[in-house]
Amino acid sequence: MADRQLDGRIALVTGSTRGLGRVIAEDLVARGARVVVHGRTRKAADDVAREVGASLAVAEDLAQGPDAAAVLVAAVENALGSIDLLVNNAADQAPTPLVDSGSEAWRGIVDVTLLAAVELTRLVCRAGAGASSVVNVASVEAFAPFPGHAAYAAAKAGMVSFTAAAALEYAPVRVNAVAPGLIDRAGLADQWPDGLAWWCATSALGRPVSAREVAAAVAFLLSPDASGITGVTLPVDGGWTSSARVTWGHRDG
């Protein structure tokens, strides 16, 4: 059973209608937080909020720029009060070879993956807002991009640097990040058999991580147990970043 260190804390998790974000939202609910589920559509947000027991569902397209972030924060504050905990999980990814990716495609990915997190953090950490902790969801691709993921990897690398800068400038609010590796999911072995085999061969634990393992790391960084930790990016990747020996698409020679 999850601990209850986050009892009553208002936690906004962006991009939480599916995948890792949904698991993070569910985990924080189990730890006693009053979770806000966020998605691009009202129906998706409402459905997930009901299923995981969240306190509020909000729908806002963060690709629309800083005004969308302001509307999102205002909606939460008007309904529940000041946001205590923020998880910047929303991201956009459209794999495209770098030679074929134009500025508009980059802008769309960076707007959602990085700039929305910057604006939401600024709003939640402003004077008098009451936030105590922010966790940004980066990626191991911030350190080792995969082919076709240039914009996504660059945005995640920006998230790592932003995390360190925000920790300095927004203290005593703690700002940290997690960098998930390959996350296991249904059908992964069928959808990416060569990639899964490569990952298992190059990571220390020899397997992908689970979404729940990442969510547990997020909860730890949000909690009082991490009261002395700020400005760090914690890889949750089964040791891949410390043990990978090859780059995807190449073999040991």
With H, G, I as helix, E, B as strand and everything else as coil, classify residue 87: strand
Which tokens is 179 given?
């960098």
CA 36, CA 84: separation in Å to the nearest integer?
11
152 is catalytic: yes
**Chain position carrying tokens 């609010």:** 173
Are the C-beta atoms of residues 184 and 209 closer than 8 Å to each other?
A: yes
* Dihedral sign from CA coordinates of 53, 54, 56, 57: negative
> Listing from the earlier edge strand, what are the strands of the sheet with 233-236?
56-59, 34-39, 10-13, 85-88, 133-137, 174-180, 233-236
Catalytic residue, chosen from 106, 143, 152, 170, is: 152
Helix (H) or strand (E) holding 234: strand 233-236
Catalytic residues: 152
